[in-house]
């Protein structure tokens, strides 16, 4: 299918075309490059207006159950929901389980919701390399609320914060002492921190964790209380706290738009995307050149034999390519 034909079907809201478009942008085939560029350029005017939410948290925190509870509420409110679920990839086999659809059975069966599991591959930060493009494709297909569920490996999952309007961090009751909250990284970037599974036997533990985390955040944000994330108790299983959480999400989005920060944030995210693409393309272009590749392998052998330091070797390589 040509890029023009695919774009037409995508803009008409065709779910199968959306799946094919995401497969295209995720493709590593060299002959798919031009078609990708044409597709993205065509759909750009129809992107950027959705609400984008990033969800992260350690494995077992209940991200998928939480997303299904939130997603069901959003669909009831009339939203078209797209979920981009990033699953970890094996460094040995390169394979991924991609099992999120099985954990979101109600949403997976609803035609108003589109769920796309994608492998993280070698990308760091909890997202796949082409998650940004996938967000735009979902928006072009008419989905006005996008949720990105990260891999779920812990403190390093910060890349998604630069793609969304709000970054939500889920935490378990009794997941650490009060010092856990002042670890910079994922906690510092979170717009909201939700303690999930605050129900039945875990409720008292969740309340204690909330107090501990708030005390820690007071230390971290003692000079900037405006940006301090709010800590809330939720139960995805019992669907408690979900309505309050969504009300605050929309209040923050409205405030961003009223102050003009919504479009500014989109622009800044586009610039960061551009910088990231330049870095990737420079590396790919250099690696593809035979002369540069041979020089790289020569320097690599010297580093391996401990006759040249990695820093010196890197500077020598950069010098040979004229950068």
- With a cut of 90, say whether residue 126 has pLDDT above it: no
- Of 159, 118, 158, the C-alpha closest to 138 is 118
Is residue 82 assigned to a domain?
Answer: yes
Do 34 and 159 share a domain, yes or no?
Answer: no
Do 213 and 253 share a domain, yes or no?
Answer: yes
The model's pLDDT over 243-261, given as tens digits with 9 standing for 90+, comes to 999 999 999 999 999 998 9
Coil, helix or strand at residue 81: strand
Please, which pLDDT band fits residue 175 given cuts at 50, 70 and 90? Answer: low
Please, which pLDDT band fits residue 89 given cuts at 50, 70 and 90? Answer: low
Please, which pLDDT band fits residue 125 given cuts at 50, 70 and 90? Answer: very low
Do 236 and 285 share a domain, yes or no?
Answer: no
Is residue 171 assigned to a domain?
Answer: yes
β-pair partners for 146: 52, 82
What CATH number does residue 187 fall under?
Answer: 3.40.50.300
What does the alpha-carbon distance between residue 11 and residue 24 come to, in Å, rounded to a whole number?
16
- Indicate the number of domains in the chain: 3
Do 33 and 157 share a domain, yes or no?
Answer: no
Do 302 and 278 share a domain, yes or no?
Answer: yes
Q: Reduced to 3 DSSP states, what percent helix, strand and coil does the chain have, rounded to the nearest 5? A: 55, 15, 30
Q: Which of residues 151 and 147 earns the better pLDDT score? A: 147
Radius of gyration of the chain (CA): 22
pLDDT mean over 290-311: 90
Is residue 264 assigned to a domain?
Answer: no
Is residue 42 assigned to a domain?
Answer: yes
pTM equals 0.85
Please, which pLDDT band fits residue 321 given cuts at 50, 70 and 90? Answer: confident
pLDDT mean over 63-79: 94
β-pair partners for 226: none
Do 110 and 159 share a domain, yes or no?
Answer: yes
Please, which pLDDT band fits residue 106 given cuts at 50, 70 and 90? Answer: confident
Do 34 and 77 share a domain, yes or no?
Answer: no
Do 85 and 159 share a domain, yes or no?
Answer: yes
- With a cut of 80, say whether residue 35 has pLDDT above it: yes
- What pLDDT, on a 0 to 100 scale, did the predictor assign at position 179? 45
Is residue 232 assigned to a domain?
Answer: yes
Provide the pairing of β-strand 145-149 with 166-171: unpaired
Is residue 265 assigned to a domain?
Answer: no
- With a cut of 80, say whether residue 223 has pLDDT above it: no
β-pair partners for 87: 119
Concatenating the DSSP letter of every residue in 173-207 gives TTSS-GGGGG-TTHHHH-SEEEE---SGGGHHHHH
Please, which pLDDT band fits residue 147 given cuts at 50, 70 and 90? Answer: very high
Do 109 and 40 share a domain, yes or no?
Answer: no
Concatenating the DSSP letter of every residue in 97-111 gives ---HHHH-HHHHT-T
The first and second tokens of residue 234, run together, are 């939720």
- Burial degree of 53 (CB within 10 A; 0-12, 13-18, 19+): buried
**All residues at 6 or more sequence positions from 299 whose CB lies less than 8 Å from its CB, including other chains:** 308, 313, 316, 317
- What pLDDT, on a 0 to 100 scale, did the predictor assign at position 59? 79
- What pLDDT, on a 0 to 100 scale, did the predictor assign at position 58? 79
Do 39 and 56 share a domain, yes or no?
Answer: no
Please, which pLDDT band fits residue 305 given cuts at 50, 70 and 90? Answer: very high
Quote the strand ranges of the chain, DSSP E: 51-57, 81-87, 113-119, 145-149, 166-171, 192-195, 230-233
Q: What angle do CA 162, 102, 40 make, to 5 degrees?
A: 40
Domain boundary among 238, 259, 280: 259
Least confident residue range of 65-74, 102-111, 199-208, 291-300: 102-111
Sheet holding 81-87, edge to edge: 113-119, 81-87, 145-149, 51-57, 166-171, 192-195, 230-233
pLDDT mean over 263-274: 88
Q: Which of residues 87 and 171 earns the better pLDDT score? A: 171
- With a cut of 60, say whether residue 124 has pLDDT above it: no
What CATH number does residue 4 fall under?
Answer: 1.20.5.170
**Domain of 277, in residue numbers:** 272-320
Is residue 310 assigned to a domain?
Answer: yes
Is residue 116 assigned to a domain?
Answer: yes
- With a cut of 80, say whether residue 120 has pLDDT above it: no
Do 180 and 304 share a domain, yes or no?
Answer: no
Provide the pairing of β-strand 113-119 with 81-87: parallel
Domain boundary among 236, 259, 282: 259
Do 112 and 231 share a domain, yes or no?
Answer: yes
């Amino acid at each position: 299918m040509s890029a023009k034909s695919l774009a037409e079907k995508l803009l008409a809201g065709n779910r199968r075309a959306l799946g094919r478009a995401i497969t295209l942008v995720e493709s590593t085939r060299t002959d798919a490059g031009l078609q990708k560029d044409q597709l993205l350029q065509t759909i750009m005017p129809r992107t950027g207006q959705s609400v984008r939410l990033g969800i992260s948290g350690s494995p077992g925190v209940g991200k998928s159950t939480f997303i299904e509870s939130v997603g069901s509420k959003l669909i009831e409110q009339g939203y078209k929901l797209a979920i981009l679920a990033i699953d970890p990839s094996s460094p040995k086999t390169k394979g991924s389980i991609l099992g999120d659809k099985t954990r979101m059975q109600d949403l997976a069966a609803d035609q108003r919701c589109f769920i796309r599991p994608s492998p993280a591959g070698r990308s760091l930060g909890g997202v796949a390399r082409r998650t940004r493009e996938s967000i735009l494709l979902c928006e072009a297909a008419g989905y006005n609320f996008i949720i990105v569920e990260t891999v779920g490996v812990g403190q390093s999952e910060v890349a998604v914060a630069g793609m969304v309007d709000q970054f939500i961090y889920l935490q378990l009751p009794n997941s650490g002492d009060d010092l856990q909250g002042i670890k910079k990284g994922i906690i510092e970037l979170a717009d909201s921190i939700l303690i999930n599974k605050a129900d039945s036997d875990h409720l008292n533990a969740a309340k204690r964790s909330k107090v501990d985390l708030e005390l820690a955040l007071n230390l971290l944000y003692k000079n900037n209380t405006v940006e301090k994330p709010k800590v809330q108790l939720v139960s995805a299983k019992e669907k408690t706290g979900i309505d309050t959480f969504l009300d605050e999400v929309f209040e923050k989005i409205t405030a961003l738009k009223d102050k003009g920060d919504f479009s500014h944030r989109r622009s800044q995210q586009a610039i960061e995307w551009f910088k990231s693409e330049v870095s990737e393309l420079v590396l790919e272009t250099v690696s593809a050149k035979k002369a540069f590749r041979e020089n790289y392998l020569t320097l690599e052998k010297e580093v391996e034999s401990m006759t040249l330091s990695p820093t010196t070797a890197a500077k020598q390589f950069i010098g040979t390519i004229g950068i």
